[in-house]
């Protein structure tokens, strides 16, 4: 799947593109049921909130067939290759839960700030492409962006090791205030199956989820192969060290799993 000229223009100007319902409801429902199976394990890659609710499952593309296929899905891999003009590898893969009532905040940050400081990634030639597995609404802790904040490079940040269960290089309030005065704040919402593509330097955050609805989102962080990381401080299942170019699968690669899931639901 390639981006149109208009989508390319939007990405360049705003730092993100929203692709409503890029995946079908059936594809999203199948992956959501797989996410719940992953969260039910006690794998070290599954991180939890203070309450014990799941926060994120790293590297699920390595131990779950549905996420393995999603990690090579042409609707995700091709637009990022198009934008980076090069083959890509998987720098990070995570399934973020933002669980009903318990999902905690993600403070204001830039992902490339972490990739540069912690992983020695040379350039911001990497980005996130996210798939909603639940409907995302204003109520269930949507991702919030400061449009156009990707234009100025990496901002100073402090290493927050305390406020949540996940260490993050976070921006100070003055910087966020100044950027938001210019760009405003948007929270793209939409049905399960929608896709959000955003620049590695785009400033983003998400509030806690006190609604009764989960907000599960899968994030592929795809990096240009020549821009692979040079520093290996984080666990290899958080910042991957396999720089093999991803070979995109066929567009219908999830279909057998969707069919099996439908059969199983019908039998229940």
Quick one: which of 217, 220, 239, 246 contacts ligand SIN (CB under 6 A)? 217
Q: Give the relative orientation of helices 74-84 and 5-14 as an angle to the nearest 10 degrees.
A: 70
Nearer to Mn ion, 111 or 119 (CB): 111
Three-state DSSP class for 9? Answer: helix
Q: Identify which of residues 45 and 111 has a Cβ nearer to Mn ion in the complex.
A: 111
Q: Among ligand SIN, Mn ion, none, what binds residue 199 when CB lies within 5 to 8 Å by partner kind? A: none
Residue 18 backbone phi and psi in degrees, to 5: -110, 125
Spell 50-62 as b/e; 16+ CB within 10 A means b.
eeebbbbbbbbbe
Q: Are 148 and 14 in contact (CB under 8 A)?
A: yes
* Distance separating alpha carbons of residues 96 and 216, to the nearest angstrom: 6
Say whether residue 216 binds ligand SIN (CB under 6 A).
no
> By C-beta, is 199 or 204 nearer to ligand SIN?
204
Nearer to ligand SIN, 214 or 261 (CB): 214
Q: Which two tokens stand for residue 155?
A: 């901002």
Is 164 a binding residue for ligand SIN by CB under 6 A? The answer is: no
Measured CA to CA, the distance from residue 132 to residue 245 in angstroms comes to 25
Q: Which stretch binds Mn ion (CB under 5 A): 49-57, 103-111, 186-194, 246-254?
A: 103-111
From Mn ion, ligand SIN, none, which one binds at residue 217 (CB under 5 to 8 Å depending on kind)? ligand SIN
59 φψ region: left (φ > 0), alpha (ψ -120 to 50), beta (else): left
Nearer to ligand SIN, 98 or 261 (CB): 98
Q: What is the DSSP string of 106-172?
A: EEEE-HHHHHHHHH---SS-EEEEEEESS-B-SSS---EE-TTTTSS-PPP-EEE-SSSSS-EEE--
Based on the shown chain and the rule CB under 5 A, indicate whether residue 111 belongs to the binding site for Mn ion.
Answer: yes
Task: Give yes or no for residue 204 binding ligand SIN (CB under 6 A).
Answer: yes
Q: Decide which of Mn ion, ligand SIN, none touches 143; Cβ closer than 5 to 8 Å per partner kind.
A: ligand SIN
Among the candidate windows 105-113, 115-123, 133-141, 182-190, which touches Mn ion by CB under 5 A?
Answer: 105-113
96 binds, among Mn ion, ligand SIN, none (CB under 5 to 8 A by kind): ligand SIN
Query: Which parts of 57-116 interact with ligand SIN (CB under 6 A)?
Result: 96, 98, 106
Q: Which residue's CB is nearer to ligand SIN, number 56 or number 64?
A: 56
Rounded to the nearest 10 degrees, how much is the dihedral formed by the CA atoms of 26, 88, 82, 111?
A: 80
Contact residue for ligand SIN among 206, 214, 216, 227 (CB under 6 A)? 206
Binding interface with Mn ion (CB under 5 A)? 111
Binding interface with ligand SIN (CB under 6 A)? 96, 98, 106, 143, 204, 206, 217
């Amino acid at each position: 799947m390639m981006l149109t000229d208009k989508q390319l223009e939007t990405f360049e100007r705003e730092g993100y593109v929203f692709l409503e319902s890029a995946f079908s409801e059936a594809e999203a429902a199948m992956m959501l049921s797989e996410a719940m199976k992953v969260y039910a394990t006690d794998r070290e890659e599954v991180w939890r909130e203070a309450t014990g609710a799941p926060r994120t499952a790293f590297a699920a593309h390595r131990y779950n067939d549905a996420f393995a296929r999603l990690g090579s899905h042409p609707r995700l891999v091709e637009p990022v290759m198009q934008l980076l003009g090069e083959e890509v590898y998987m720098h990070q893969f995570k399934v973020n839960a933002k669980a009903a009532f318990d999902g905690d905040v993600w403070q204001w940050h830039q992902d490339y700030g972490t990739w540069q400081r912690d992983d020695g990634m040379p350039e911001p030639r990497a980005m996130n492409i996210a798939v909603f597995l639940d409907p995302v609404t204003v109520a269930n802790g949507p991702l919030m962006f400061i449009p156009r904040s990707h234009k100025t490079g990496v901002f100073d940040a402090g290493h927050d090791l305390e406020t949540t269960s996940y260490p993050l290089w976070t921006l100070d309030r003055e910087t966020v205030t100044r950027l938001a005065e210019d760009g405003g704040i948007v929270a793209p919402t939409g049905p399960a199956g929608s896709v959000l593509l955003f620049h590695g330097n785009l400033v983003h955050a998400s509030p806690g989820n006190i609604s009764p609805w989960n907000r599960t989102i899968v994030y592929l962080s795809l990096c240009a192969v020549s821009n692979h990381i040079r520093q290996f401080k984080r666990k290899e299942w958080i910042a991957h060290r396999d720089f093999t170019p991803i070979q995109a699968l066929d567009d219908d690669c999830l279909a057998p799993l969707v069919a099996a899931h439908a059969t199983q639901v019908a039998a229940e």
